[in-house]
Structure 1
């Protein structure tokens, strides 16, 4: 069982230290070799971190969404939340209400 932290998930989308290890973890999860537990605030932490990563690394949101392999509603909500955070320059706390 893996407890997945937002910092690991962010490494799936940006080249930085330990990205290779994070991608190995993602592959084990995708193959069903690992069970995953995430903190309740993971989606908020991820949206906030990726807001800044998208600005810093110029990661495009459509690329981010595609890399998630997702049609899962919570993950699509993250992509939309990041779009709103950047477009309207508002805080994640305000957006969550």
Structure 2
């Protein structure tokens, strides 16, 4: 499991980021790039105590290619079910 409980009872993740190296197979150069997913390591609450972000929820996703790091738009996040987009991460169409 990727969690532990602090002395005050707060449940936290052991890590808050995951980095994957991707090597494209269809590219002529096959130059790899990295994807880093940063998550909330604990529940984040507003002033009223309502959870605004759950532990493990994606906070940011970045892509690093050729030494340049770019933040990926929320609409670029995928939910791992084919080409469906995660409805929690996609901005509504106008």
TM over 0.5: no
Q: Which has the higher helix share?
A: 1
Q: TM-score by structure 1 length?
A: 0.27
Q: Which has the higher strand share?
A: 2
Q: Which structure is higher in RCO with an 8 Å CA cutoff and minimum separation 6?
A: 1
Q: TM-score by structure 2 length?
A: 0.27
Q: Which has the larger radius of gyration?
A: 2
